[in-house]
């Protein structure tokens, strides 16, 4: 029997959440509505998720004693970020079910492993190559062509650990600036739009996808999401099918996000997978107010061993991130008709820091 098949929480049981950011905070709030408690583990004493739970563990992810005490206090463990160290997951998994499982972390923590996995499923993906030196980078460029995108295999997020390489760039300098020995080179995709699918999968294999979301980035950070994405239904169905295939192939339990590019193919628009996030995702925040069930509640239900809901969208919806100084506008947003304001209770508004978001549900299809 696998870890996921064993979990069946009752109201009053406790979920352990690794990571104390806004995603952990919103997961804990969704759990509370279902009568479940959460205990948050985070090394940062200013974790926004600490504010909404009674019990928190403030310790390093390498602190085995703290991890063991945390595991003893909870019934199941999940996480809000994909870079959970393998050793941390191992210590916890020896004591309590960790969902999604460690195997999934191993696949999604490394861009090369992730891309090999997606390609083996026969899903469209940008051409890519393993790069470990300036020589292998030159060979990869010769095959893939320019422009291309170089990305570190690990720890990249919000555009960090990646760069576009164009004709005439100093390749040796690009490699030096990336400061890594393991990267991938990816063909630059002239996409029409970026979309994502937020999918939930329960231990019995049932999958529920939210409506496909269209995402607009500024300075590599998500700024606005719109649901539904402005794409033909057949393409939306294909995108949802891809997310379902990935979730099933991973034997996934919980919510995952699959980011995709919409590109013009020979027979019309098609999609290429960019990235898998094994967690709730910023592009799914619209579901908090724009659908009958949020991504956070679906995740909690899945890891609790409860049935997933069938999310119904309330209308066209947008989600706007409040990034850095955008937070200063929160009072204006409070009076916008149809707007719901979410503030994360974070400290200083540093540039690029996600401070909150606003959802707006519009009365009818635009
Ligand atoms: P990632 O960290 O892989 O999600 O990339 C962050 C953002 O960079 C994406 O949302 C895209 O806007 C852009 N990007 C990443 N890879 C490519 C690519 N191969 N071609 C064009 N744009 C890309």
Q: Which atom of ligand 1 is nearest to the CA of 189?
A: 20
Atom of ligand 1 nearest to the CA of 162: 2
Helix axes 295-304, 22-33, angle to 10 degrees: 70
Asked: is 127-187 a CATH 3.30.1490.20 domain? The reply is: yes
Cα–Cα distance, 177 to 175 (Å, whole number): 5
User: Do residues 5 and 203 lie in contact, with contact meaning Cβ atoms separated by under 8 Å?
Assistant: yes
Closest to 186 measured CA to CA, from 205, 170, 162, 202:
162
Contact 271, 195 (CB under 8 A): yes
Please tell me the distance between residue 144's alpha carbon and the centre of ligand 1 in angstroms: 16
Q: What is the DSSP letter of 130?
A: E
The finding on whether 174 has its CB within 6 A of some atom of ligand 1 is no
Helix (H) or strand (E) holding 78: strand 76-79
CATH fold for domain 193-361: D-amino Acid Aminotransferase; Chain A, domain 1 (3.30.470)
Q: Please tell me if the CB atom of residue 194 comes closer than 6 angstroms to any atom of ligand 1.
A: yes
282 vs 275: CA distance, rounded Å:
14
CA of 200 to the centre of ligand 1 (A): 24
The pair phi, psi for residue 338, each rounded to 5°, is 80, 0
Rounded distance between C-alpha atoms, residue 132 and residue 182, angstroms: 5
Low-confidence residues in the chain, pLDDT < 70: 1-5, 157-158, 365-366
CA of 274 to the centre of ligand 1 (A): 7
- Residue 263, by phi and psi: left (phi above 0), alpha (psi -120 to 50) or beta? beta
- Strands 183-187, 193-201: pairing is unpaired
CB atoms within 10 A of CB 120: 9
220 touches ligand 1 (CB under 6 Å):
yes
Q: Indicate which atom in ligand 1 lies nearest the CA of residue 215.
A: 10
Which residue from 141, 149, 219 has its CB within 8 A of the most atoms of ligand 1, so it is best to mutate?
A: 149
Q: Which atom of ligand 1 is least distant from the CA of 186? A: 19
Continuous segment of H or E residues that includes residue 297: helix 295-304
DSSP letters, 89-126, are HHHHHTTS-BSS-HHHHHHHSSHHHHHHHHHHTT--B-
The answer, yes or no, to whether any atom of ligand 1 lies below 6 A from the CB of 189, is yes
**Cα distances (Å, whole numbers) of residue 261 to 189, 205, 211, 215:** 8, 26, 16, 10
Find all residues with CB under 8 Å of 347, minimum gap 6, and list them.
46
pLDDT of residue 155: 83
Q: What is the CATH number of domain 3-98?
A: 3.40.50.20
pLDDT score of 156: 72
Which of 274, 275, 276, 278 gets mutated to test ligand 1 (max ligand atoms within 8 A of its CB)?
A: 274
Q: CA-CA distance, 159 to 220, in Å (whole number)?
A: 5
- Kindly list the domain boundaries of the chain, sorted by start residue: 3-98, 127-187, 193-361
Whether 127-187 and 193-361 share one fold: the answer is no
**Cα Dmax for the chain:** 61
Per DSSP, 63 falls in state -
Q: Report which ligand 1 atom has the smallest distance to the Cα of 188.
A: 20
């Amino acid at each position: 029997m696998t870890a996921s098949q064993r979990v069946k929480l009752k109201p009053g049981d406790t979920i352990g959440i690794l990571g104390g950011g806004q995603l952990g905070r919103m997961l804990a709030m969704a759990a509370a509505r279902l009568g479940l408690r959460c205990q948050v583990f985070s090394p940062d004493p200013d974790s926004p998720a600490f504010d909404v739970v009674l019990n928190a563990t403030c310790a390093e992810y390498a602190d085995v004693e703290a991890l063991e005490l945390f595991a003893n206090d909870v019934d199941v463990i999940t996480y809000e970020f994909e870079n959970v160290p393998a050793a941390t997951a191992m210590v916890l998994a020896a004591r309590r079910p960790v969902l999604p499982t460690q195997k999934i972390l191993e696949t999604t923590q490394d861009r090369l492993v992730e891309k090999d996995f997606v390609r083996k499923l026969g899903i469209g993906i940008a051409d890519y190559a393993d790069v470990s030196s300036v020589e292998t980078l030159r060979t990869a460029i010769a095959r893939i062509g320019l422009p291309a995108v170089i990305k570190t295999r690990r720890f990249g997020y919000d555009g960090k650990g990646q760069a576009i390489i164009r004709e005439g760039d100093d390749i040796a300098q690009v490699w030096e600036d990336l400061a890594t020995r393991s990267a991938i080179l990816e063909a630059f995709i002239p996409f029409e739009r970026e979309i994502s699918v937020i999918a939930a999968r329960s231990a019995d294999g049932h999958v529920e996808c939210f409506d496909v979301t269209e995402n607009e980035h500024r300075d590599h950070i998500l700024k606005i999401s719109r649901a539904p994405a402005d794409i033909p239904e057949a393409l939306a169905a294909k995108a949802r099918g891809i997310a379902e295939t990935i979730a099933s192939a991973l034997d996934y339990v919980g919510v995952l996000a699959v980011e995709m590019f919409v590109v013009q193919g020979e027979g019309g628009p098609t999609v290429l997978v960019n990235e898998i996030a094994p967690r709730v995702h910023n592009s799914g925040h619209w579901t908090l107010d724009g659908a009958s069930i949020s991504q956070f509640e679906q995740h909690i239900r899945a890891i609790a061993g409860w049935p997933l809901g069938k999310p119904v969208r309330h209308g066209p919806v947008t989600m706007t991130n409040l990034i850095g100084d955008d937070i200063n506008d929160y009072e204006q947003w409070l009076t916008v008709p149809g707007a719901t304001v979410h503030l994360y209770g974070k400290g200083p508004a540093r540039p690029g820091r996600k401070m909150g978001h606003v959802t707006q549900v519009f009365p009818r299809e635009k």
